[in-house]
Structure formats: structure tokens, C-alpha cells
Structure 1
Amino acid sequence: MVSIVKADINMGALPFFDGELINISESQQIRSIKYQREYITENFSLLGSETRLKDCLEINLFFEYRYKGKFLRPKKGGQQNLLGGVTVKTIKSIANSLKLFLNWLESQGIGWKDLYAVSESEKAKEWLPPYQFRAHLIDRVRRSELSLNTANLYISHVRQFYEWAWQTNRIKKLPFTYSDKVIKKKYSRSEFDSIFTSFNHDRGIVVQTNNLTIPKKHQQKKMILNDGLSPLGPKELLSFYSSNYMQSQTRKLWADLALLCGLRAFEVTLLNESEIIDTTLDETKVYAVDIIGKFNKSRKILIPKTLMTRLWVHKNSGERLNRSAKWDNDNNSIRKPLFINRSGKRLNEGSISNITSRVAKELLNNKVKFTYSFHDLRSTFATSLARFLLENDLPLGFIQYKLMSLLGHTNFSTTQKYIDLARIVTYDKRMKSWVLEVFGDLEQALSIEAMALELGD
């Protein structure tokens, strides 16, 4: 059985033996390794197994390549570590996918290198380990045990591992192939889609694809309209912000970044202090700020002036400056996060996402049921903004484009759920006044932007 273990490991450069011996048992010793340049990485995910130890060691080396940026280095602007590779969080996600893969291989009694049937024939490929694993994932999707997106994430990590194994000469040939695909979209002025305005509509967009993905046709039946979407109403927002636990100004900032700007919990941890500015220096009402989201995608979010003012106060508070000094002692990076913990490190995502569960526990003691998650604050933002844009009669294509860009979605279907829900949600006067307070200053700017995009300017 393969499992994930967390370890603090040295990813330093220029290793050497210093002559010191370390006892690993009563009869065994190993030589100590030192590094000319040390780099300690905390809570790094590794795979361990008594039955698949060799496989785990190879995969752990793959993790090191990804973390050091020696293989599939993150794109420019993406979330990286100081060594130039992916983050510890990304390694954790990859480790989870490959743990599932190895455990499945164990259950089938096969090895990941069993590529004896490598052939151009699609029928022959079905017997290869990665394709058998894909068939296993498809079955789980059909049984509604996995979402299509999650299954494709698992198989993409498996695919990356095989690519690495091929590039490092561990296998002689890739078991899958790549090809170019042209995506076409018809242009309709009645439903303007600004994402495609910069391309030739006849030729379409050329994208690279492969034959080891899970097609959309395997997606489970369409769920009910608001499945997974739980925007808070004025009553729930009042209960949430009135709780004792939420009287902390810092926690209120975390919640407001989700509610007023649509940030995910981990995106709050990635907000850089350099993006926070003094609002007394200009008359700006809404600030465009850069953030790194899912899949290392960079996007701009909008922060209302009142919230930016509070973030500026937090940035310059005494407690935060003390923590900032600790950060400076341990880091050479100029990309200092706004939120730093007591140890002078970047705030953990769980510290932020858990605030709703802490509030729920408190409210339950007072006989009040609160079943919302931190992500539901983001859902409230998305649904409220969609309703605002719809009520201002902006083109549907522009609404889709704007929501996608502000929320960091990768496809229209996710965005469309919020638009569909916004069409049936009825806000009372208190909720509508709150929405206008947050988005009201954007009305004219958004209308001008929509018109400019439609005209192709």
C-alpha cells in the first residue's frame, strides 16, 4: 500500500560528503551529506511503500525535478518557489494523483513500466497501464464517484510522470501521442464573445491535445442548477460577521477578500504586500490588483477603496511589521505576502478556510445553524456580480468574459452556473444595497469596456 509522508528535506545545491557518519541501526552507518547552498523545504510530500519502494523512489525523484524547475518549469507569472519550480502545494496534489495510480497498479498486479504493447493501434494502447488507469477513472466518473475535472487532473499528473520518465531515459517510448486540434467558434454580434475577438474566426485557435485525456462525453448527468453553489443571503452574512470569532480585523479581511473580490482561500495567502497601496494618494474608487490563482494563472481582481484602505492599515500595523521582519530574516524574495503568521512564514491556507467552520461551531452553541464554507463567500461574490451585470443589461458574452477573468475560471460551464443561478435569485433591499455599494462604481466603466470590446477597439 502506497501512502504519502510529509518531510522536511534539504533541496540545497552542490552536495558533498563531510566524512561524518550517521547511525541508522546498531550495525549500519551512512555518510552525512552537506550542501554548499542549503535550502530546507518543509512538509514536502513523498511517497512510501513496502511493496512499491523502487517505484516510490523514482516518483520522489520526479517530485524533486518538478520542485527545482528541472522539468515542466511553471510558466512566466505562475506561482513558483525560490528554486524556480512548482510549490509544495502543487507537489502535494501530484503526490495524491500518483499515490492513487500506484495503489491501482498494486491492485492489478502490474507495473507502470509494462509498456510491451506500445503501438500506434488504439486497440493495443488499451492494454497499457496508463490507459487501463484511464478506463478505471472513467468508470468512477460514470458512477459519479469523481468529477470529470478531478479525473483529468489525476490522469494529467500520470501523463507528466511518463513524460519525465521518457526524457530521463527510464522508458524508451511515450505510451501516448500528441496532436494539434483547431477550435472554432462562430461569431455572433447578438452574443458577443470577447475572448475570441483577437483571433481569425475562420481558422480558429490551434491547441495541442493528446489521446490520454478523458473526453467530456463521460461527464456524469447534469446536476441541479445550484448544486455546489451556496451564496449567502443578508441574514447569513449578518450571523457570520456578528460572531465572536469574526471580530478579529484580520479574519474579517480574509472573509472580505472572498466576499468582495472573489478570492479562494489559497489566493488570499498569495496576495503580495506590494499590491496594497495608500488610498489617500489618489481618488481611485476601485483598484486592479494582480493575483495568482489555480493552475498558476495570473489574473487581475478588483478591490473596492474601502477594503484597500483596511488592507493598507493591516500592512502597516505593529504586529504585522514584526512578522514582516521575521520574514525578511529568512527570505530573500521581494514577493512578500501580505498575511504572515507568527513564525514569519506565509500564512497556511487552512487558517483561512477554517474560519467558517469555527463560526459554525460557535453559532451552533447558540442554536443557530450555519452550513456555509469559505468558498461560499466567493460564490456570493460571483452570483451577486452576475446579477449586477445582468440588471445593467450588459451583453451576455461580456458578462461571461468578465466573470471568467475576475474569478479565474478555465471554462464557460463553471461561469455559466453562476449566471444561471443569478437569474433566479431574488435579493431583498438590504442585499441589493450591499451589491450596489461594492459594484456601483463599476457600472460606467464596465459599460464602456463592453462597448469597446464589441467594437474591437
Structure 2
Amino acid sequence: MLTIVQSDDFETEIQTPFCGTKSSIQLKGFPTFYENGEYVTAINLWMNHLINVKRAKNINSNVRAISRYWRFLESHKLSWKDFPTIKSNKPTYLFRNQDLLAAVKAGELSNSTASIYINHVIKFYEWAYYEGLIQFSKENKPFEVEFVSVKTTGMLAHINRNYVVRSSDLRIKVPRRTPEQSLNPLTEDEVKLYSRALKKQSIEFQIHQLLQLMCGLRIEEACTFPVSLVKRCNSDTYHVQISIGPHNGVNTKFGSVRTIEVPTVLMNKMHRYLISERRQYRECKGDKPIAELLITNRGKPYTPNAIQRHFNLTRSHIRNELNVHFQHRTHDLRATYGTFRLASLLDENIGLSPFDAMSLIMGWMGHKDEKTTWRYLNFINRNKASIRAVCFLDQVMDSVVNEYEDP
């Protein structure tokens, strides 16, 4: 069984080349992998490399990819170092075909996510070979290296029409989609359906999903939403504006700081949870106070992986028990907020111009490029029949927000 523990920062000694002097340096902690209680050296050296050598700001996708690959190896009793002669029997190809592509076909992963995961696995093997942790031969190798010609689309395309990049035959192609097609917000009926299914889940998962759906937070931003921002609000105000970023513990994309709007009813729901016996009991399981609002039954802050597992179970419930085709990811809740909230701002009764409405949404959602926000306006213009210019989310999610359940 694979277990991942976040290690603390640590200090280590280094020796200066060509002289006998020693010094110590402070290194950052990283996600540490254990398999059946044993330290997984190869993965942990890779994680240390990403954090303390490459200085990567965010390795969540690396962790998800490698942990998914390692669990696949574990379940199929495969070794990460052994590669049979027949390509289809190699663990990397089995992982690509039987796990990633199967998940894409079932709607559990997008093509782009599967492509990112397999690329992380490829990078891991390339690094392990460079560091001498694994040896490749003509017969014993995880993949075939290929060189792919890519068409140039920049300003100098008329001079150099193509350029060649190194790739592998493990790569997963991502179908080209228009910017508007990449958005997959929930429809009104789907929001109502999801709200009913959400009421049967734990209070922690409810709050996380509502932060995404009603505030436009990314999955990790909602996981790291801090206790310090939670307060009791008067019902006179409709929304509360708060600042989020690294300064108060929220892991925003690129470490940026932005102001978001939180509905008063959701803020009060979070406050009730904060002072509840349920949360206090969970916090007591840890050895120190937890800055994050949402705590698991093991006394740890929620992680994106844990949220994904809960979401998959909820999606399966909707598909199997309710017999409804529900083809969404957690990130689609954020897209749902963007489309419905922008539609509400463009309502004739409010009187905002498209430019002002776009500026507000861009700030609340933390878009660095205004082209990202324009996708929402284009999506609304193309789907006017399904996006009504009312704050629909506040209406349909009211029952979830105001009910305090501890299933």
C-alpha cells in the first residue's frame, strides 16, 4: 500500500569541492512516498530534485501522476525497473493503455490530464536514467524516443515552417478544441442534480465544492482556505470580499494575491463548521493546530487527491444510482461559477457593461490573461438559451448552504 507523507523542512551538510570545509544548507520538505511502510528511494529522490534542485513551485501534478503510476504497478504486481521485450507487456504501456486511456474513455480523466500524467512518468524515467538509478538497453527500456515535426504558428512561420521536438511513443494526443469548447460548465439541471447529491456528502466536502462553485476557487485554493478568513457575518450583506494568497496560506496559482467574493450564507456555514465539535475533535487528532479550515477524519488538512476521490464517488453515484450521464470534473465547478456569475452581471437590471463585468470576473477568478476571461463571454453568447442572466447558483444551492449535515 502506497502512503504519502509531507516531510518537514530539513538541514543537511555539504562539502565544498576541492577543499575540506563543510557547511549546512536548509532544504524544503517534499511529499515522501512509502510502500508498505518502506521508504521509496527512487520517487523520493525525484521529489527532492523537483523541490530543492529545480525549485518547482507546484508539484501536485507530479505527485498525482507518480502515485497513480506506482499504485498501478502495485495492483498489477509489476516492477518499475523491469521491461519485457514485448512492448505491450511493459509497465509503462500497460499504465498508458489500461489505466490512463481507459479513464479518459470512461470520462474520469481528460485527454490533457492523461497526457500530463504520462509526461511526468517519462520525465521520471529520464531523470532516473541520468542519475544511474536504472539502466536501459535495446531490449530493456520503458519507451521509444521519437522526433516529431511541429508546425510553426508564430510571426516567423513564413521563414521556418516546422521545428522538431523530441517525444516518445508513450505520448497521449490531446484533441484540438476551440477555447470555448474547453469550458465545460454544469447546466442548470446538472447544478440542481449535483446539489442534491452533494447534500449526502460530508460537511467538509460540501464546503470545498461550494467554495469552487460559488466563489470560483481552484481545487487547491479551496483545500488551503484558512481558518483566519472565516468569520460570522450579518445577513444584511449579500457577499463578503476577502483577499487570498500566500500571505494568508492560500495556495493560489503562481502565488498571486486576489480578492474574491464569498456569499454570506456560505461564510456563516463555514463559521458553524469552524466552531463545531466535529472539527474540534478532528483537530485534536493532530499534534498542532491546523491553519486550514477543512480537516479529514485523520486530523490532516484535505488534499486535492482526497477531494478528487470524493468527487469520483459522487459522480459515480449520480451515474449509477440516478442513471444520469454526468461528464464533469471538479474544475468544471469553477467554470460554472464563471459563466453563471458573468451572466448575472450582464443582466439588464444591473446595467454593467461587458467590459466592467469582465473586469470583475477576471479579478475574482484570478485570470492573468484577459483572453481566458473572454472565453466565458463567448461561451455565454453561444449558449444564451441555456445561461439565463440571473444569479442561478445562489438560488439552487441555497438548500445545501443553509443545511448543516454531518453524514
Q: Calculate the TM-score normalised by the size of structure 2.
A: 0.57
Please list the CA deviations of residues 218-241 of structure 1 after superposition, one character each: whole Å capped at 9, or x if unmatched. Answer: xx6xx3463222222222122222
**Equivalent residue for 2:342, pick from 364, 383, 386:** 386
User: Following TM superposition, by how much is the alpha carbon of 1:407 offset from its aligned partner in structure 2, in angstroms?
Assistant: 1.2
Matches for 1:110-121 after TM superposition, within 5 Å: none
1:400·1:415 contact (CA, 8 Å) conserved in 2? yes
Aligned counterparts of 2:260 and 2:58: Cα–Cα separation in 1: 22
* Partner residue in 2 for 1:168: none
Aligned counterparts of 1:312 and 1:235: Cα–Cα separation in 2: 29
1:63·1:91 contact (CA, 8 Å) conserved in 2? no
Please say which structure displays the higher CA radius of gyration.
1
Do residues 65 (structure 1) and 52 (structure 2) align?
A: yes
Secondary structure of 2:315's match? Answer: helix
Secondary structure of 2:299's match? Answer: coil
User: Following TM superposition, by how much is the alpha carbon of 1:311 offset from its aligned partner in structure 2, in angstroms?
Assistant: 0.9
Cα separation, partners in 2 of 1:408 and 1:368, compared to 1, 3 Å: same
Aligned counterparts of 1:365 and 1:406: Cα–Cα separation in 2: 35
Aligned counterparts of 1:300 and 1:338: Cα–Cα separation in 2: 18
Which amino acid in structure 2 is aligned with residue 100 of structure 1? Answer: I
User: Following TM superposition, by how much is the alpha carbon of 1:313 offset from its aligned partner in structure 2, in angstroms?
Assistant: 0.6
Do residues 258 (structure 1) and 212 (structure 2) align?
A: yes
User: Following TM superposition, by how much is the alpha carbon of 1:386 offset from its aligned partner in structure 2, in angstroms?
Assistant: 1.8
User: Following TM superposition, by how much is the alpha carbon of 1:103 offset from its aligned partner in structure 2, in angstroms?
Assistant: 4.6
* Partner residue in 1 for 2:329: 373
CA RMSD in angstroms comes to 4.4
Aligned counterparts of 1:293 and 1:376: Cα–Cα separation in 2: 17
Do residues 145 (structure 1) and 104 (structure 2) align?
A: no
Aligned counterparts of 1:257 and 1:100: Cα–Cα separation in 2: 34
Aligned counterparts of 1:229 and 1:324: Cα–Cα separation in 2: 37
Secondary structure of 1:409's match? Answer: coil
Cα separation, partners in 2 of 1:7 and 1:305, compared to 1, 3 Å: closer
Secondary structure of 2:215's match? Answer: coil
Cα separation, partners in 2 of 1:251 and 1:102, compared to 1, 3 Å: closer
1:356·1:372 contact (CA, 8 Å) conserved in 2? no
Q: Calculate the TM-score normalised by the size of structure 1.
A: 0.52
Do residues 307 (structure 1) and 307 (structure 2) align?
A: no
Which amino acid in structure 1 is aligned with residue 225 of structure 2? Answer: L
Cα separation, partners in 2 of 1:98 and 1:248, compared to 1, 3 Å: closer
Secondary structure of 2:280's match? Answer: helix
Cα separation, partners in 2 of 1:225 and 1:362, compared to 1, 3 Å: same
Cα separation, partners in 2 of 1:365 and 1:297, compared to 1, 3 Å: same
2:218·2:334 contact (CA, 8 Å) conserved in 1? yes
Q: Percent identity?
A: 19
Aligned counterparts of 1:436 and 1:239: Cα–Cα separation in 2: 15
Which amino acid in structure 1 is aligned with residue 340 of structure 2? Answer: S
* Partner residue in 2 for 1:443: none
* Partner residue in 2 for 1:358: 313
* Partner residue in 2 for 1:271: 225
Please list the CA deviations of residues 383-428 of structure 1 after superposition, one character each: whole Å capped at 9, or x if unmatched. Answer: 0122122334533333333222211222222211111011232367
Aligned counterparts of 2:49 and 2:392: Cα–Cα separation in 1: 49
Secondary structure of 1:367's match? Answer: coil
Aligned counterparts of 2:270 and 2:356: Cα–Cα separation in 1: 30
* Partner residue in 2 for 1:13: 11
Unaligned runs of 5+ in 2: 15-23, 35-39, 67-116, 130-135, 139-162, 245-250, 397-407
* Partner residue in 2 for 1:413: 371
Secondary structure of 2:165's match? Answer: helix
Aligned counterparts of 2:372 and 2:335: Cα–Cα separation in 1: 11
Do residues 400 (structure 1) and 358 (structure 2) align?
A: yes
Unaligned runs of 5+ in 1: 17-34, 50-55, 73-84, 110-132, 148-219, 439-457
**Equivalent residue for 1:43, pick from 32, 40, 43:** 32
> How many residues were matched structurally?
288
Which amino acid in structure 1 is aligned with residue 332 of structure 2? Answer: D
Q: State the structure with bigger RCO (CA 8 A, min sep 6), 1 or 2.
A: 2
2:343·2:389 contact (CA, 8 Å) conserved in 1? no
